[in-house]
Chain A
Amino acid sequence: MAEASAISKLMRIPVGFATVLKTLLKKPVTVQYPDEQRPMSARFRGRHHLKRYENGLERCIGCALCAAACPADAIYVEASENTNEQRFSPGERYSKTYEINMLRCIFCGYCEDACPTNAIVLEPIEFPTGYTREGMIYTKQMLLEVPPTGTPATPQVTQPGTFDRPIIPFPAIDSSV
């Protein structure tokens, strides 16, 4: 009994080597993050982005409903008034300060749900990282996406009467399709 177990114990060594050798030839399952990234589900909630309209105006109107919906109290918004000479968003109001504390954020996406203009979107393309606590507070400039090519950044100078309303109604859902 004792001898047999000694042999089987010895046998484990080549078996072990064989496993190592087998694995050496296999492609590893880990990736070299962040140089290399795995594709995420399209619905994955990564870092927040503040979206723009096609003409470059910001979608965010500074209503702070995202901050109200946030269960972690991670969002801080201060609003100010648009003028035609300095227009950031359609309507009268835009967000002057928009900050998200990524350390507090739990990526629940409630802010997306609360947003009346679809301005804030959690997208699976970037993940907040940083070395300092201060650096993890993302400011509006960090969150705002770049204007579409060919459109000016905000603030823009606009014609009076063109952007009077803050909320462009969503197109009716076509139930026939």
Chain B
Amino acid sequence: MADLVNLTIDGKAVAVPKGTLIVDAAKTIQNDIPVFCYHPKLKPVGMCRMCLVEIGTPKMDPATRQVVKDDKGVVVIAWQPKLNTACTTPVSEGMAVRTQTTVVSDAREDVLEFLLTSHPLDCPICDKGGECPLQNLTLEHGPGNSRFEYENKQHNAKHVPLGDLIYLDRERCIQCSRCIRFQDDIADDHVLQFHERGRHMEIITLSEPGFDSYFSGNTSDICPVGALTTADFRFKARPWELGSSPSVCNHCAVGCNTTLNTRLDTKTGINEIKRVMPRQNEQVNEIWLCDKGRFVHHYTRAGDRLQKPLIRQNGQLVETTWERALDLVSSKLLGASSVAAVIGDRIANEDAHLLTKLVNSNAKGETRLSPALPASYADLARDYGVGVGFDMKQLGKGDVIVVVNGDVEEQAPVWFLRLRQAVVDRGAKLIVSNHRGTKLHRYAAHIARYEQGMAAQWAAQTDDAALSTEELTKARNVLFVFGDEKLDAVSARGLAQILVGKLVAAGQIGKPNSGLLPLYPHGNTQGVFDIVAGTRHSGNPGVLSVDVAWLVGVGDTSDAPKARFSVVSELFMTALASVADVVLPALSFAEREGTYTSGDRRVQRFYRALPAVGQAKPDWWAVQEVARRMGFVWNFASPAQIFTDLAANVSYYSGLGYEVLAKTESQWPPVGRDDLYYGGTGYENDGGIGVRYASNPSVISAPTLPKMITSMSDLKGPARKLYQTGELIKRSDVMQTHIE
């Protein structure tokens, strides 16, 4: 690398890319320069002064413009007379930095003494206590005592609700502005600002409702003190008491990596999720999480979770044993001439695979994805999707991002953050085309508009110069992000086909950062589709009439088949479950392990964090038990074994396995280790960063364009909002006021 800059930090030689800040350069050699206001994901401001170090540059002879060397030929360093902030100073060639001298440690002591002048020191009751940068750095670098009097502390409001998700403690705030900068630079919701100045400076919000942002929870992760805490975790547990399990969020196509923090609760007597924290995956969600993913988890311990199997007797659903329920289901399946399985798109790949396998043993067995609409274009999204090496971080100057018919902030919030950075910070060209305004419109170089439902027609007919083949050919990469909002199956597929056509015409196929990126409704739409697509499946959502239907995790879908006998596997008594003949209690994602395939085809593992509720069992177990009763010799002991079988049957997944998916790699910036002050309280990735499977190159050929659609069928993709009413979100008390 030509652009490396050499410097020494405490006598140790370091070579880092040009433009790196001293604090990051030091981090690469495990030299921890303490910081409060600096965050590797945010622009530096140098407000807290904690990172003061001694900086020197090679002494230059003013006459000859040559570096001065001493008698021994060693370069003489001209030390700057005062300390400088390591977080705002970029490295330069030959620079020398001293971080361990008395001057530096005295400065750190003084800065901490000042920061603590009005800090309430109520660590025992602070939710941050135990994972608090201020606590840790005071212990490491702070003075043993203070010259300020305890009684003279300035007292401020301690319990200020900024919104109903985030509380502010004004006394604890050290005015580092990390939260403000996150909102300004990353989320682009300017709802937090400083007010007043000097000692009276405080964080305010004046938005309606307060702290109106989908990303507010992240500010509590990066807050270096306990000033911003979430309403959800308030006084729930101390951080050191929590168990942690790696997991994956299944509420949208992004597939954010999370860590579930769990602890016993005396009210229910079993472990429950106390909070959901981001787990670093620089290729998926970096260290961010949207508020839905963070606060929606309460459904896992909702009081109305199904606990026992139910069967219909004399028109009533009555509790029964698993034995009887499974016997009934298997006998019905054995006698059925036609069978259908409808699989919800939050169901793990393993469950979908096993159920598909079972249903396809029937000569007239058919499997379907629910909601059905994405099945109309998911094959194109898979085969013409982004390449294996896709990383939104690499999108920048010369790249074209086209968002068609989707509201990325509402439907895939973390992709919004990352796309926005590609456009605003790194200069990618954004083209937005929609029938309504979205937040991404703010950054668009070019905006197109069409009538609601007419996305495919627009795409086929547009003579926009920005979307011409020449322009797209010139681009370094072309990324099409598209959604199915207000589209029917024909036009959704049509839209995808036209976009593929543009990619092919522009020669943008086969590049890692070019391709389609679909805004699927949930976290495993692609995975369930991949599994059902290889078998008898219907991407065509007409009403189906069968003998036995088995519906797994479909919620209250409108595309349930007509069935003489229906089995519903669910978490809750949905309307669909209440008319079923057998209802089987299922396990939520937190109570079992499995894999999900995200919208960009990354297969990721999630792990068991909680014990089961009641007699609820994982869906794969129920399917296998039914299959055994029907005479199949299935002996899958765990999802890992099922996944091996899946990889052997679904060609896209070949070569994948639980061990491969559990692999991690070192990530930059390092987050979630002991140095909480550096990156925040997000977790280190210890559960695997997942693997994106390759699209199938043999499928790539020029697609046929659809006929122009003149009539709309009934099935249309909804305008999905992040907080719309749903079976899961309505069980989260903290989210109530946000549900639209």
Once the chains are docked, how many angstroms separate the CA of A76 from the CA of B267?
13
| Chain A residues engaging chain B, CB cutoff 8 angstroms | 61-65, 67-68, 76, 78-81, 91-93, 97, 99, 116-117, 164-167, 169
CA separation between A112 and B630, bound complex, in Å? 62
Which listed residue, B122, B150, B235, B265, touches A62 by the CB 8 Å rule? B235
CB < 8 Å neighbour of B125 from A61, A67, A68: A61
* A43 smallest CB distance to B (angstroms): 25
29 contacts between A and B (CB under 8 A): A61-B124, A61-B125, A62-B125, A63-B124, A63-B125, A63-B129, A63-B238, A64-B237, A64-B238, A64-B241, A67-B241, A68-B240, A78-B237, A78-B266, A79-B125, A79-B235, A79-B236, A80-B235, A91-B125, A92-B158, A92-B159, A92-B235, A93-B235, A99-B266, A164-B158, A165-B120, A167-B121, A167-B122, A169-B150
Contacting A65 at CB < 8 Å: which of B120, B122, B124, B159? B124
B371 to chain A minimum Cβ distance, whole angstroms, is: 40
B234 interface hit (Cβ, 8 Å)? yes
- Min C-beta distance of B156 to chain A, whole Å: 10
For A166, the chain B residues whose CB sits under 8 A away are 122, 124-125
The residue on B at minimum CB distance from A139 is B266
**In the complex, what distance in Å separates the CA atom of A116 from the CA atom of B155?**
20
Within the assembled complex, what's the spacing in Å between the Cα atoms of A81 and B155?
20
| Cα–Cα distance between A57 and B57 once the two chains are bound (Å) | 61
Additional pairs, 7, CB under 8 Å, beyond known A63-B129, A165-B120: A63-B124, A64-B237, A68-B240, A76-B266, A78-B237, A81-B235, A166-B125
**Minimal Cβ-Cβ distance residue in A for B122:** A166
Contacts of A81 in B (CB 8 A): 234-235
By CB atoms of chain A within 10 A, which of B122, B125, B151 has the most?
Answer: B125
Q: Which residue of B lies closest to A167 (CB)?
A: B122
- Chain A residues contacting B240 (CB-CB under 8 Å) are 68
How many angstroms from the CA of A116 to the CA of B716 in the assembled complex?
A: 60
B-chain residues with CB within 8 Å of residue A91 when the two chains form the complex: 122, 125
Residue of A nearest to B266 (CB): A97
Report the minimum CB–CB distance from A166 to chain B (whole Å): 5
Write the nearest CB–CB distance from B731 to chain A, whole angstroms.
21
B129's nearest neighbour on chain A, judged by CB, is A63
Bound together, the chains give a CA A149 to CA B561 distance in angstroms of 71
Asked if B265 contacts A78 (CB within 8 A), the reply is yes
A164–B156 alpha-carbon span in the complex (Å): 10
CA distance A116 to B121 in the complex (A): 11
Interface pair B124/A68, CB less than 8 Å apart: no
Give Cα A62 to B122, complex, Å.
12
Question: For B265, what are the chain A residues with a Cβ–Cβ distance below 8 Å?
Answer: 78
Closest CB of chain A to B166's CB: distance in Å? 15
Q: Mostly helix, strand, loop or mixed at chain B's interface?
A: loop
Q: List, in ascending order, chain B residues with CB within 8 A of A79's CB.
A: 125, 235-236
A165–B234 contact, CB under 8 A? no
A165 in contact with B266 given A62-B235, A80-B235, A81-B234 (CB within 8 Å): no
The residue on B at minimum CB distance from A172 is B150
Instruction: Encode contact with A along B103-145: 1 for CB under 8 Å, 0 otherwise.
Output: 0000000000000000011101100010000000000000000
Central interface residue in B121, B124, B158, by most chain A CB within 10 Å: B124
Nearest B residue (CB) for A115: B124
| Cα distance, A169 to B238, chains bound together (Å) | 23
Q: What B residues does A65 contact at CB under 8 A?
A: 124
> B237 to chain A: which residues have CB within 8 Å?
64, 78
**Contact of A92 with B124 in the complex, beta carbons under 8 Å:** no
- In whole angstroms, how far apart are the Cα atoms of A81 and B234 in the complex? 8
Nearest-neighbour CB distance to chain A for B307, whole angstroms, equals 24
Q: How far is the CB of B155 from chain A (nearest CB, A)?
A: 8
Q: Is the CB of B124 within 8 A of A167?
A: yes
B230 to chain A, nearest CB (A): 13
Min CB–CB distance B266 → chain A (angstroms)? 5
Tell me the complex Cα distance, A166–B265, Å: 24
A68:B234 contact, CB within 8 angstroms: no
- Could you say which residues of chain A place their CB within 8 Å of the CB of B234? 81
| A65: nearest chain-B partner, CB-CB | B124
| Chain B residues, CB < 8 A from A67 | 241
Chain A's closest residue to B159 (CB) is A92
Given contacts A62-B125, A169-B150, contact A68 B238 (CB under 8 A): yes
Which residue of chain B is the closest to A116 with respect to CB atoms? Answer: B124
Shortest distance from the beta carbon of A104 to any chain B beta carbon, whole Å: 15
Cβ–Cβ < 8 Å partners of B121 in chain A:
167
Note all chain B residues with C-beta closer than 8 A to A165. Answer: 120, 122
Task: List 9 tightest A-B contacts by C-beta distance, closest first.
Answer: A63-B124, A93-B125, A79-B235, A116-B124, A166-B125, A97-B266, A64-B238, A93-B235, A61-B125
Cβ–Cβ < 8 Å partners of B266 in chain A: 76, 78, 97, 99
CA distance in complex: A36, B154 (Å): 55
Q: Closest CB of chain B to A74's CB: distance in Å?
A: 14
* Bound complex: CA A175 to CA B39 (Å): 45
Query: Which residues 254-269 of B sit at the A interface, judged by CB distance below 8 A?
Result: 264-266
- How many angstroms from the CA of A65 to the CA of B135 in the assembled complex? 15
Distance in Å: Cβ of B617 to nearest Cβ of chain A: 29
CB distance from A62 to the nearest CB of B (A): 7
Residues of the B chain whose Cβ atoms lie less than 8 Å from the Cβ of A76: 264, 266
CA distance A64 to B240 in the complex (A): 10
Docked pose: A167 CA to B129 CA in angstroms: 15
- Give every chain B residue within 8 A of A116 (Cβ-Cβ): 124
Smallest CB-CB separation from B157: which chain A residue?
A164
Q: How far is the CB of B657 from chain A (nearest CB, A)?
A: 37
**Residues in chain B near residue A167, CB distance under 8 A:** 121-122, 124
- Shortest CB distance A84–B (Å): 12
Bound form: Cα–Cα A67–B240 in Å: 10
A residues within 8 A CB of B159? Answer: 92
B735 to chain A, nearest CB (A): 19
Q: A166 to B238, alpha carbons, bound, how many Å?
A: 16
B312, chain A: closest CB distance, angstroms: 40
A17 to B129, CA, bound (A): 70
| Bound form: Cα–Cα A64–B126 in Å | 11
A99 and chain B: residue at smallest CB distance:
B266
Q: Which of B232-248 contact A (CB under 8 A)?
A: 234-238, 240-241
- Rounded to whole angstroms, the CA-CA distance of A65 and B123 in the bound complex is 10
B712 to chain A, nearest CB (A): 52
8 Å CB interface, B448-505 against A? none
> In the assembly, what is the distance between CA of A18 and CA of B238, in Å?
67
Closest CB in chain B relative to A151 CB, distance in Å: 23
Which residue in chain A gives the minimum CB-CB distance to B236?
Answer: A79
